[in-house]
C-alpha cells in the first residue's frame, strides 16, 4: 500500500467531498501472510444518482484473487430463496414496492455557488414516515423530498440522524401516517446463489422505480478505510445503478435482506472492466446502526480497529490451505491502525475477539461497535500453523453526520 493519504473526489450529487480512494490489499497468501501491494484497483462508486448524469466519488478495493479449481460433481440443497417465474417477481413487488420511495435532494457543491440536485432511494420503516436510506444520499442536503409509490406529489422530509462511517441514514417524512412499510429479513440466512430482486430510483428516471433481478454472488465482502466502515456486504449481479442507493435488495419472500449501496465500475483510468458487481449493506448490519440512529445517532466517536475481514468459508479454507474451520480472514490492515499495532496482517484468521468466538466478519464488526475508543480488547488469530494472541487498543473514528 502506498504511504500517501487517500485522495478525496468531489461528490457531485450532494455538493460535498466524496468517498476516499485507497489501494487494495494483496490477496492473502497460503502461508506466512504479510502486508503487500495489491493488484490493479477497481473503482467502487457509491450509487446515489446525480441528476444530469454525473457520477460522484468512489472507493477503490479488490476482493481476493481469481480462483481456478478442478471440476467436481456435488449435490446441492434446494435454493432457499428461489424466484422461478415472472409471477413470483410480481408477487414480491406487490409486497415491497409500496414501501419504497424516491428521494430527491438539494444541496451545495463544495466551492460552488449554485445548488446541486441529487437522487436516491429509501425504504419506509414505520407508518408515521421513518425512511431508511444511505448517508451519502442525503449528505450535504439542504432540502429533502420523497415521492411515495403511486404518488406524483413529493413530500418534504428531514434527516433524523446519519452515520457516514456506516453509510446509513434515517429520514422522517413530515406529517405522515398510515404509510405502507417494508419488512426487514434475516440476512444471516442468505446463501450464495439465492435469487434476489433490487428495487430503486435508477438514474432518477421518470415514471417510478426500476426493478432488476439476479442472485447473491458472494457474502461477507468488506470495505474499511478511514471514512467508510462497510463490512458483511452482500454482492449481487442484479443490476444497480446511480439512484439505487438506499433501495432494497429483497428475497423471494419479499423481505429486505440488504440496502443497495455500491457498484464496481472499472479502473481509475476509466477502463470498463467490471460488469454486474454490486454491493448491498446486509440487513442485520444496518439494523444495528438503525438502533443508534433512532436515538439521534452516536453521541461520541465510534471505535476504530482498521481492519477489513471476510467470513471464512470452506472454499477460502481449501483455497489457502488454512488450518481453522471458522473465523474472519483479514483482507486488509490500515497502516498505523490499532489492528497493525496489535500485530494483525492480511491472511490472518481472527478466531476469538473480545472473549467471544468469531464465526463471521460481522462478528468482528459488531464487537468493535460494542466498544469505545481506548478499550483494550483481547484477540486470538491463526497465522499459518501458529495460534497467536494479543490485545487491540481500539482507536477513534470521527463520527461524520450526513
Over residues 205-259, the pLDDT tens digits come to 887 889 999 999 988 787 655 455 677 789 999 988 888 899 999 999 999 999 9
CA distance 382 to 89: 44
Query: What is the average pLDDT value for the chain, to the nearest integer?
Result: 75
Q: What is the pLDDT of residues 329-371, one digit of tens each?
A: 998 888 888 999 999 999 999 999 999 999 988 788 888 878 8
Cell 430527491 locates to 104
pLDDT the model gives residue 118:
84
pLDDT the model gives residue 62:
31
**Looking at per-residue confidence, does 27 or 209 come out higher?**
209
Cell 449481479 locates to 237
Taking alpha carbons only, the member of 86, 62, 132 closest to residue 290 is 132
CA distance 157 to 140: 14
Cell 474451520 locates to 325
pLDDT the model gives residue 15:
36
Burial (CB count within 10 angstroms: exposed 0-12, middle 13-18, buried 19+), residue 1: middle
Q: Which candidate in 227, 245, 337, 360 is catalytic?
A: 245
pLDDT at 174 over 50: yes
CA distance 354 to 187: 24
- Domain spans, the chain: 1-65+85-299
| Mean pLDDT of all residues in 152-173 | 90
Name every residue whose Cβ is closer than 8 Å to that of residue 13 and which is 6 or more positions away in sequence. 48, 49, 50, 51, 54, 56, 105, 116, 117, 118, 119
Name every residue whose Cβ is closer than 8 Å to that of residue 271 and which is 6 or more positions away in sequence. none
Q: What is the pLDDT of residues 108-134, one digit of tens each?
A: 655 555 667 888 999 999 999 999 999
Residue 245 annotated in active site: yes
**Looking at per-residue confidence, does 22 or 86 come out higher?**
86
Residue 155's pLDDT band (cuts 50, 70, 90): very high
How many degrees, rounded to 5, is the angle at CA 158 between CA 288 and CA 129? Answer: 65
Going by the DSSP 8-state scheme, the letter that residue 183 receives in this structure is E
| Mean pLDDT of all residues in 280-300 | 80
pLDDT the model gives residue 219:
87
- Least confident range from 9-23, 115-129, 247-261, 266-280: namely 9-23
Taking alpha carbons only, the member of 326, 317, 311, 307 closest to residue 377 is 307
Residue 217 annotated in active site: no
| Mean pLDDT of all residues in 1-9 | 31
Query: b/e string for 338-361 if b means 16 or more Cβ within 10 A?
Result: bbbebbbbbbbbbbbbbeeebebb
| Mean pLDDT of all residues in 91-118 | 81
Give CA separation, 72 vs 116, 288, 311, in Å. Answer: 53, 39, 23
**Looking at per-residue confidence, does 319 or 180 come out higher?**
180
HSE-up of residue 198 (Cα within 13 Å, Cβ side): 37
Backbone angles phi, psi at 359, to 5 degrees: -120, -10
Q: Which candidate in 13, 136, 213, 231 is catalytic?
A: 136
| Mean pLDDT of all residues in 149-158 | 91
pTM (two decimals): 0.65
pLDDT at 54 over 70: no
pLDDT the model gives residue 272:
56
pLDDT the model gives residue 389:
95
* % of the chain at pLDDT higher than 90: 39
pLDDT at 75 over 90: no
Q: Which candidate in 11, 167, 237, 363 is catalytic?
A: 167
**Looking at per-residue confidence, does 32 or 343 come out higher?**
343
Query: What CATH number does the domain located at 1-65+85-299 have?
Result: 2.40.10.120
Residue 167 annotated in active site: yes
CA distance 356 to 378: 10
Amino acid at each position: 500500500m502506498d504511504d500517501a493519504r487517500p485522495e478525496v473526489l468531489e461528490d457531485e450529487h450532494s455538493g460535498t467531498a466524496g468517498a476516499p480512494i485507497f489501494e487494495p490489499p494483496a490477496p492473502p497468501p497460503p502461508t506466512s501472510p504479510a502486508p503487500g501491494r495489491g493488484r490493479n484497483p477497481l473503482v467502487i462508486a457509491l450509487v446515489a444518482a446525480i441528476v444530469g448524469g454525473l457520477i460522484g466519488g468512489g472507493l477503490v478495493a479488490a476482493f481476493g484473487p481469481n480462483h481456478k479449481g478442478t471440476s467436481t460433481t456435488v449435490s446441492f440443497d434446494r435454493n432457499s430463496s428461489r424466484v422461478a417465474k415472472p409471477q413470483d417477481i410480481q408477487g414480491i413487488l406487490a409486497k415491497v414496492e409500496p414501501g419504497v420511495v424516491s428521494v430527491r435532494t438539494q444541496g451545495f457543491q463544495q466551492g460552488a455557488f449554485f445548488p446541486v440536485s441529487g437522487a436516491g432511494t429509501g425504504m419506509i420503516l414505520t407508518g408515521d414516515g421513518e425512511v431508511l436510506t444511505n448517508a451519502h444520499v442525503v449528505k450535504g442536503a439542504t432540502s429533502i423530498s420523497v415521492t411515495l409509490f403511486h404518488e406524483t406529489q413529493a413530500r418534504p422530509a428531514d434527516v433524523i440522524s446519519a452515520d457516514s462511517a456506516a453509510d446509513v441514514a434515517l429520514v422522517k417524512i413530515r406529517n405522515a401516517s398510515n404509510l405502507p412499510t417494508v419488512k426487514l429479513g434475516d440476512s444471516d440466512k442468505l446463501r450464495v446463489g439465492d435469487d434476489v430482486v433490487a428495487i430503486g430510483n435508477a438514474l432518477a428516471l421518470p415514471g417510478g422505480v426500476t426493478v432488476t433481478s439476479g442472485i447473491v454472488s458472494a457474502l461477507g465482502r468488506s470495505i474499511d478505510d478511514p471514512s467508510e466502515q462497510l463490512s458483511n456486504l452482500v454482492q449481487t449481479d442484479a443490476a444497480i445503478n446511480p439512484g439505487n442507493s438506499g433501495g432494497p435488495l429483497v428475497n423471494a419472500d419479499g423481505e429486505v435482506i440488504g440496502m443497495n449501496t455500491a457498484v464496481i465500475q472499472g479502473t481509475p483510468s476509466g477502463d470498463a472492466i467490471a460488469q454486474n458487481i454490486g454491493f448491498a449493506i446486509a440487513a442485520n448490519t444496518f439494523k444495528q446502526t438503525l438502533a443508534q440512529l433512532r436515538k439521534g445517532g452516536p453521541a461520541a466517536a465510534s471505535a476504530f480497529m482498521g481492519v477489513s475481514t471476510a467470513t471464512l468459508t470452506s472454499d477460502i479454507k481449501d483455497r489457502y490451505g488454512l488450518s481453522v474451520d471458522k473465523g474472519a480472514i483479514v483482507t486488509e490492515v490500515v497502516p498505523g491502525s490499532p489492528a497493525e499495532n496489535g500485530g494483525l496482517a492480511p491472511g490472518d484468521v481472527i478466531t476469538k475477539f473480545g472473549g467471544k468466538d468469531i464465526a463471521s466478519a460481522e462478528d468482528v464488526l459488531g464487537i468493535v461497535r460494542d466498544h469505545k475508543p481506548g478499550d483494550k480488547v483481547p484477540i486470538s488469530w491463526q497465522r499459518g500453523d501458529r495460534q497467536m494472541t494479543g490485545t487491540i487498543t481500539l482507536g477513534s473514528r470521527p463520527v461524520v453526520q450526513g
